[in-house]
Amino acid sequence: MKISKGLLGIVDEHPVELYTLENDSGVIVKITNYGGIVTSIILPDGSGNTQDVVCGFDTLEGYFSEEYKANSPYFGCIVGRYAARIKDGQFNIGEVQYQLDTNDGTNHLHGGKIGFDKRVWEAKTLEKQDRVQLILTLSSQDGDQHYPGNVDVTITYSLTQSNALEIQYEAETDAQTPLSLTNHTYFNLGGFQKRILDHQAQIHSNRYLIPDDSNVPVGEEAMVAGTACDFNTPKRIGDSFSELPNGFEHYYVFENEAGDLIKVAEFSDPDTGRTLSVLTTEPGMLFYTGLYTSDNLAREDGTAFGQFKAFCCETSKYPNGPNIKGSPRSVLNPEQEYSELTIYQFSW
């Protein structure tokens, strides 16, 4: 196992490095300290062929192109302070109402206009017998994007010898503040030869949050049984598109009140035999199939991304959690330590 780095570019006078994590099975994961972005995951398949299975770019310029900025798909990044949408950018803590930036119509999305995905993080590396690690840290000051409290965040990416990418999220604050961190990697286990409609999916969840007219959950839930949203039994993703032509942007709720590490989903590509299992301590996951991804986005080698070409498994707190009664762990208190783990386990 090994980890190496090289200079990717400069942002706001800060050096941006690209870290390459490799294990002995031929898995290669590339991550930059700009936004904590996973730029590349290269996996073998059952025949020994290797392909990149995530959306991303090989140059820093790709993340600053006009096409990318206009589409804003958040490829591979760390999202924060709060993943997904907060309705009207508003929430209350006690008797105090806070107004955040609104960068998605009337709503606040993925931490605001300058979220954690647009910051240069401090980075260090570790090499261990069974894993290599990239440890990213960031301090978010009181008032950052109008959130209360100073927040210190640590993200630890670990590539293991057993072909897992583990993401450990840790944080602490000096004042009550909403906090929901996630990774926004888009996967196509077939290497982008075609859309992800033929992928098999299984999601261990009996219910999802219903969004309102502005695409924000406000507390109402729906049961998946008997609907196109039911993935408790593995099925082809595209089989649901006859009823859901826009695909999925659904937050699935898990029965995991204790915050244990549990397996919540599995995806596989029948052509290559590659499989992705998702394990997490989080209360739910936004399953997104890329409706809004621009067809004009492509990696530098010509690999084309676009609508329904990849899916996201955004394990996180409830979208709009600060405004939903009973939403688990959506607000971090000063005496608490934020600690969540999500594992992407690959096989072929």
Do the beta carbons of residue 36 and residue 46 sit within 8 Å? Answer: no
Do the beta carbons of residue 342 and residue 283 sit within 8 Å? Answer: no
Could you tell me which of 8, 5, 51, 9 has the C-alpha nearest to residue 26? 51
User: Is 249 an active-site residue?
Assistant: no
Give the span between the Cα atoms of 259 and 204, in whole angstroms: 15
Give the span between the Cα atoms of 9 and 336, in whole angstroms: 36
DSSP-derived letter for residue 240 is G
Kindly name the residue from 17, 172, 266, 314 that is annotated as catalytic.
Answer: 314
Please list, residue by residue across 305-320, b when 16 or more beta carbons sit within 10 angstroms of its beta carbon and e when fewer do: bbebbbbbbbbbbbbb
CA distances from residue 8 to 11, 27, 273, 335 in whole angstroms, order as listed: 10, 21, 33, 38
User: Is 184 an active-site residue?
Assistant: yes
Do the beta carbons of residue 93 and residue 148 sit within 8 Å? Answer: yes
Give the span between the Cα atoms of 69 and 67, in whole angstroms: 6
The half-sphere exposure of 32 on its side-chain side, counting CA atoms within 13 A, is: 32
Kindly name the residue from 110, 184, 199, 250 that is annotated as catalytic.
Answer: 184
Which residue numbers are catalytic? 184, 314
